[in-house]
Amino acid sequence: MKITPLEIKQQQFEKSLRGYDVADVQAFLTLVSTEFEYLITKNKELEDQIDKLSDRVKHYERVEEALHETLQTTKESVAQKMDNARSEAKNTVTKAQMDAEAIVQEANQERMKIRQSILRLLDKREEIIAGITSYLDNAKAQVDKFSRDDMKIFDVPEEATTDSSVSDMEETEVTDEKKKEPTETAASSRFAFDDESLETESDDIIDEDDSAFPPGTDRLNDILDEID
């Protein structure tokens, strides 16, 4: 049962002989009513404060929950980013290793191609040198043959059986020899010039063959060894 300060203040008592003093009772009721009213007011204030504090607590709880969720989200995001960074770093390292292996393999293939090209050039050089040498040998043999064949025309014919024939032939030979002396001299000079020209041309061909290849070609085998 609830009682208000006004009810306390207006409370009536029956009168009897040798009862309490009415004025004292009324004064006490007034005091009790005042104190009770104060307590009710104070209780109301406290209830309001409790409600406010409860609201603040709920607010802080919501903030705490939001912070907790944010912290959890941040942790998950950081963990995800770290995992992504590790995965990306691993992929980068793997790709770099694959690229390095591809570069090394390509370099080895290029080295093999260069080595094969050098070997083909060396074989071609040997073929050219052999061809030129064979050509020069054949040319020299032909020149020697032509020189021997041309010298046969200057051999003295055999003596005839009759004196008249011998005499005529001697006169004819003398005359022919006089006529052929300049020719023989010219022929000898011509063949000598041809021999010198051939030798000069041979030397030029050999020089050209040597100059066709850059200096240090004789070290190609060493270079090939270094490539290997």
- Measured in degrees and rounded to the nearest 5, phi and psi for residue 15 equal -90, 145
pLDDT category at 2 given cuts 50, 70, 90 is: low
- Rounded to 5°, angle at Cα 139 from 134 and 142: 125
pLDDT category at 211 given cuts 50, 70, 90 is: very low
Percent of the chain with pLDDT over 90: 43
Virtual torsion, Cα 208, 209, 210, 216, nearest 10 deg = 130
What does the buried/exposed string (b/e) look like for 61-87 if buried means 16 or more CB atoms within 10 Å of the residue's CB? Answer: eeeeeeeeeeeeeeeeeeeeeeeeeee
Least confident span in 11-25, 102-116, 122-136: 11-25
Distance CA 225, CA 49 (A): 97
**pLDDT digits 0-9 by tens, 45-91:** 999 999 999 999 999 999 999 999 999 999 999 999 999 999 999 99
Does residue 24 contact residue 13 with C-beta atoms inside 8 Å?
A: no
Distance CA 23, CA 40 (A): 25
**pLDDT digits 0-9 by tens, 124-159:** 999 999 999 999 999 998 888 877 766 666 555 554
Whether residue 185 is predicted with pLDDT greater than 70 in this model: the reply is no
Whether residue 199 is predicted with pLDDT greater than 70 in this model: the reply is no
Does residue 184 contact residue 154 with C-beta atoms inside 8 Å?
A: yes
Q: Note the pLDDT of residue 220.
A: 53
Please compute Rg for the chain using Cα positions. Answer: 68
Q: Note the pLDDT of residue 181.
A: 47
The amino acid that residue 132 corresponds to is I
**pLDDT digits 0-9 by tens, 38-53:** 888 999 999 999 999 9
**In the chain, where the domains are located:** 5-79
Q: Note the pLDDT of residue 210.
A: 45
Whether residue 109 is predicted with pLDDT greater than 80 in this model: the reply is yes
Cβ contacts of 33 within 8 Å, gap of 6 or more: 5, 6, 8, 9
- For the question of whether the overall pTM of this predicted structure is more than 0.85, the answer is no
Distance CA 163, CA 203 (A): 54
Cβ contacts of 140 within 8 Å, gap of 6 or more: 198, 202
Of 110 and 207, the one with more pLDDT: 110
Distance CA 77, CA 79 (A): 5
Query: What residue ranges in 77-130 does DSSP mark as E strands?
Result: none
Tokens 């912070």 correspond to what residue?
A: 67
**pLDDT digits 0-9 by tens, 113-122:** 999 999 999 9
Distance CA 67, CA 122 (A): 80
Q: Note the pLDDT of residue 25.
A: 78
Does residue 195 contact residue 145 with C-beta atoms inside 8 Å?
A: no
Of 95 and 175, the one with more pLDDT: 95
Question: At 35, is the secondary structure helix, strand, or coil?
Answer: helix
